[in-house]
């Protein structure tokens, strides 16, 4: 009778592939980046502008059908200085990740902040988008290279305290 | 207002008062889940003239495995708009089980109405691979058996025991797809004889293409209301007089696949046999499973089985069971039926089963 070691461990690898459907509203936002535009949508009830919108106002549950083009400028409501290296990192550390609230928007999104020394970064800083050359625009936020300070006076805390 | 039926389960009469479902499609290319759900939620409220502020509880059924993203059920709440914050829950199961949870909460008497919804898309990944991940991880899942292959083992077990033939499977498919011609939400409907269907090639023997469900993207929603509130919202509510769900072992190889003891037990607990059944909507994704379910529930002659076409007409993952309850309720509202049995299933080869008996007064 052959002596065999008991099985104490098995590897059963699993891989599932998916196709993502961005949706009607999000597709409008993504196509906006192909034209160098920030495209959001407004709730018909509470009038909040979401950029990007997922198609619905999460407060009212209503379709955000009204398309709104937003400007290149906004306020950095809060930020994080990244000092930790990680796999796949494409930007040299340290760098700044900021929450960008575009003027007229009611939803902030994360963006890279450049052209400012790390020790001068602060909440409420006014920023503007620096777009990649038009030939590099595609249906992705990567069409925006980064955001940089405009040099305007900082926004008052009251104007962005709901968006931290 | 004309009273309430006798209850087998629970002590508070709770009725289905509104139902809506998405147009079942092979592949929804444009809308995301929230954009699919929004019109369905608007319709289920609009049908009875209420808003989200009129329900005390929201419960949903879905699974992240279909979408390939975590917490998709949280994102889906955007279709309702949950502000101010409200009581909400989710089951990683067909929406019929979400309805069960809402029914339990309504039994407690704190709230009078609840929204139940479910969504799922078969088109975003390879459904056969995704469903194999739910199997026992040591002996079965590493083999990646797809649901059709497992269902074929079940069909073969029926043939081996002399319980049914391939012609019987074709008869179920022929009748279901013909009934589906009257269902505007059906994805697959046709008028073809069982003999014509038997000429098809096998997908996985002994199952031919006609015995398989379609791949469907869809979603559905139901409003439940208790007591007098049900009559305020609906002329003839479909009251849940009995509801129960049972499960069998995870191990497919340890079951007698030709029968469904969990359905039988759930049917008994829900009181299916207490009175005449007019309509039965059975969640049988594969044609032969309808025969197993009808046997387990003791449905005899005179029962109109799957007048909607059932899951063979459209099989939106996670909502096909909830839709069976909605289709049954519609027939009570219209007066076509006084008493209906709705069934939902989950897992491979009818592993888990829910039975819901609905009655109008």
pLDDT in tens, B18-66: 999 999 999 999 999 999 999 999 999 999 999 999 999 999 999 999 9
Task: Give me the percent of chain B exceeding a pLDDT of 90.
Answer: 94
Domain B144-213+240-359: assigned CATH number: 3.40.47.10
pLDDT for the residue numbered A1: 56
A60 interfacial to chain B (CB closer than 8 Å) = yes
pLDDT for the residue numbered B203: 98
Q: Closest approach of chain A CAs to the CA of B180, in angstroms?
A: 29
pLDDT for the residue numbered A90: 85
State the first-to-last Cα distance of chain B, in angstroms, to the nearest integer.
Answer: 9
State the first-to-last Cα distance of chain A, in angstroms, to the nearest integer.
Answer: 70
> Which top CATH class is B14-126+215-236?
alpha beta
In this prediction the pTM is: 0.95
Q: Does pLDDT of A46 surpass 70? A: yes
Angle (nearest 5°) at CA B36 between B314 and A26 = 140
The complex's ipTM works out to 0.88
Q: Closest approach of chain A CAs to the CA of B262, in angstroms?
A: 30
In angstroms, the Cα distances linking B80 to A37, A62, A154, B15, B68 are: 29, 8, 37, 21, 22
- For chain B, the structural domain boundaries read 14-126+215-236, 144-213+240-359
A55 interfacial to chain B (CB closer than 8 Å) = yes
**Which tens digit of pLDDT belongs to each residue from B109-164?**
999 999 999 999 999 999 999 999 999 988 899 999 999 999 999 999 999 999 99
B14-126+215-236 and B144-213+240-359, same CATH topology = yes
pLDDT band at A66 (very low <50, low <70, confident <90, very high): very high
Average of per-residue pLDDT across B88-105: 98
Please report the DSSP string for B173-226 in residue order: HHHHHHHGGG-TT-SS-----HHHHTTSPEEETTEEGGGSPPPBEEEEEEEEEE
Question: CB burial class (10 A; 0-12, 13-18, 19+) of residue A87?
Answer: exposed
In angstroms, the Cα distances linking A23 to A31, B75, B176 are: 12, 13, 33
Write the residue in B32, B123, B130 that is nearest to A26 by C-beta: B32
Write the residue in B41, B81, B138 that is nearest to A10 by C-beta: B138
Q: What are the φ and ψ backbone dihedral angles of A6, each rounded to 5 degrees? A: -65, 150
pLDDT for the residue numbered A10: 86
Q: Which of A20, A28, A41, A55 has the highest number of chain B CBs within 10 A, making it the mutation to test binding with B?
A: A55
Report CB contact under 8 Å: B28, A18. no
**Which tens digit of pLDDT belongs to each residue from A10-42?**
888 889 999 988 999 999 999 999 999 999 999
pLDDT for the residue numbered A12: 82
Nearest chain A residue (CA) to B65: A16
- For chain A, the structural domain boundaries read 24-163
């Amino acid at each position: 009778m052959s002596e065999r070691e008991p099985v104490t461990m098995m590897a059963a690898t699993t891989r599932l592939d998916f196709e993502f459907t961005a949706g009607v509203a999000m597709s409008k936002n993504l196509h906006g980046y192909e034209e160098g535009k920030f495209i959001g949508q407004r709730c018909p009830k509470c009038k909040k502008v979401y950029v990007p919108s997922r198609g619905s106002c999460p407060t009212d549950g209503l379709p955000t059908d009204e398309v709104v083009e937003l400007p290149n400028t906004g306020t950095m409501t809060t930020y994080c200085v990244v000092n930790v290296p990680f796999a796949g990192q494409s930007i040299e550390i340290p760098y700044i990740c900021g929450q960008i609230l575009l003027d007229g928007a009611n939803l902030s999104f994360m963006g890279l902040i450049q052209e400012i020394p790390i020790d001068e970064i602060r909440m409420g800083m006014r920023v503007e988008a620096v777009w990649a050359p038009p030939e590099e625009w595609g249906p992705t936020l990567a069409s925006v290279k980064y955001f940089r300070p405009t040099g305007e006076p900082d926004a008052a805390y009251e104007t962005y305290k709901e968006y931290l | 207002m004309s009273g309430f039926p006798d209850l087998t389960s629970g002590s508070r009469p709770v009725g289905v008062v509104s139902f809506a479902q998405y147009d079942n499609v092979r592949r929804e290319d444009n809308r995301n889940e929230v954009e699919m759900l929004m019109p369905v939620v608007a319709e289920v409220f609009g049908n009875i003239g209420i808003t989200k502020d009129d329900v005390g509880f929201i419960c949903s059924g879905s699974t992240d495995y279909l979408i390939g993203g975590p917490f998709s059920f949280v994102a889906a709440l955007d279709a309702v708009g949950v502000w101010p914050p409200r009581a909400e829950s989710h089951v990683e199961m067909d929406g019929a089980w979400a309805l069960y949870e809402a029914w339990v909460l309504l039994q407690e008497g704190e709230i009078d109405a609840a929204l139940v919804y479910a969504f799922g898309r078969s088109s975003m990944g390879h459904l056969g691979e995704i469903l194999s991940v739910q199997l026992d991880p040591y002996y079965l899942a590493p083999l990646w058996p797809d649901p059709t292959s497992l269902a074929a083992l079940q069909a073969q077990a029926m043939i081996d025991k002399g319980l049914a033939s391939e012609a019987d499977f074709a008869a179920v498919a022929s009748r279901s797809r013909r009934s589906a011609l009257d269902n505007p939400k059906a994805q697959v409907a046709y008028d073809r004889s069982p003999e014509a269907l038997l000429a098809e090639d096998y997908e996985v023997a002994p199952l031919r293409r006609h015995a398989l469900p379609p791949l469907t993207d869809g979603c559905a929603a139901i409003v439940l209301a208790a007591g007098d509130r049900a009559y305020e919202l609906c002329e003839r509510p479909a009251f849940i007089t009995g509801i129960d769900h049972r499960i069998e072992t995870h191990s497919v190889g340890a079951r007698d696949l030709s029968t469904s003891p969990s359905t039988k037990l759930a049917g008994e607990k829900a009181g299916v046999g207490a009175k005449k059944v007019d309509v039965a909507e059975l969640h049988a994704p594969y044609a032969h499973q309808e025969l197993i379910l009808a046997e387990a529930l003791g449905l005899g002659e005179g029962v109109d089985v799957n007048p909607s076409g059932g899951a063979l007409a459209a099989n939106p993952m996670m909502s096909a069971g909830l839709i069976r309850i909605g289709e049954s309720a519609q027939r009570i509202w219209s007066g076509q039926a006084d008493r209906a049995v709705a069934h939902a299933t989950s897992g491979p080869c009818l592993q888990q089963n829910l039975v819901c008996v609905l009655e109008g007064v």
